[in-house]
């Protein structure tokens, strides 16, 4: 549920309480419309929202808006900074926002040293969050582009273990019927992009990547 209750001071902030009065985050303010992080940018700072609202949006390479969601107080933004990964979203202030920032490396060190239980769990949670986001993206775009993205992302697994995942499961994950998945694989095979005779083996990675970028409505 989207929170709209401002975090008025460090005493009512979960990060402030955890810091025991020695919070390492630096407060700042962004005006409405300001870009906090661009899509594809590798953010260096993680932000905690104290007051106001921001929008998270993603645009396909062809300019179609794929996602739009809102975040309010107590949200943690740009966590990609902790793993030096590009942001999948543009993060933009919808109102005047009060945020507190800390470098990704500094936040990781504050959580705990390398190989500590806290850091290991944090890394696993960040990886799981990214995987869940990617799984949602499997259903975006037309059927052929969904199959292409999935084959491209899991090429080695699909080639090495052709019977590990049933076609019905993959079709459900991609939001299509099994027969639609079969037709897409047949087309990709006829076009010389994949070999689907046993599992799925990528033959032309460049063409498959181009198909994966398509975003026509299914």
CA distance 41 to 43: 6
Answer CATH for 137-212 from 3.90.1150.10, 1.10.10.10, 3.30.420.280, 3.40.47.10: 1.10.10.10
Determine if the pTM surpasses 0.85: no
Q: Which architecture, in CATH terms, is 10-121?
A: Sandwich (2.60)
User: What's the pLDDT tens digit per position in 59-76?
Assistant: 876 677 766 788 999 999
Torsion angle in degrees (nearest 10) through CA of 125, 42, 96, 76: 10
Residue 126, pLDDT above cutoff 70? yes
The per-residue pLDDT for 218 is 39
Element (H, E) at 159: helix 155-160
Residue 119's φ and ψ, nearest 5 degrees, are -70, -40
Three-class SS of 124-142: HHHHHHHHHHHHHHCCCCC
Ranges of CATH 2.60.120.10 domains, the chain: 10-121
Q: For the residues 152-161, what does the mean pLDDT come to?
A: 78
The per-residue pLDDT for 168 is 86
Residues 6+ apart with CB under 8 A from 203: 192, 193, 194, 195
Ranges of CATH 1.10.10.10 domains, the chain: 137-212
């Amino acid at each position: 549920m989207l929170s709209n209750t401002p975090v008025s001071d460090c005493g009512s902030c979960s990060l402030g309480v955890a810091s025991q009065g020695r919070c390492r985050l630096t407060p700042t303010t962004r005006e409405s419309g300001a870009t906090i992080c661009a899509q594809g940018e590798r953010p260096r700072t993680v932000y905690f929202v104290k007051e106001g609202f921001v929008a998270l949006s993603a645009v396909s390479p062809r300019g179609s808006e794929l996602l739009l969601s809102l975040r309010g107080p107590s949200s943690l933004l740009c966590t990609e900074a902790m793993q030096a990964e590009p942001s999948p979203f543009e993060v933009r202030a919808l109102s005047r926002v009060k945020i507190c920032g800390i470098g990704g490396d500094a936040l990781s060190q504050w959580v705990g040293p390398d190989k500590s239980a806290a850091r290991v769990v944090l890394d696993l949670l960040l990886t799981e969050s990214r995987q869940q986001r990617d799984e949602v993206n499997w259903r975006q775009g037309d059927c052929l582009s969904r199959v292409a993205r999935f084959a491209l992302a899991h090429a080695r697994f699909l080639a090495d273990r052709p019977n590990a995942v049933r076609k019905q499961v993959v079709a459900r994950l991609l939001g299509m019927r099994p027969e639609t998945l079969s037709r897409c694989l047949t087309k990709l095979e006829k076009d010389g992009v994949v070999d689907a005779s046993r599992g799925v083996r990528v033959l032309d990675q460049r063409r498959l990547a181009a198909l994966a970028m398509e975003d026509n409505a299914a």
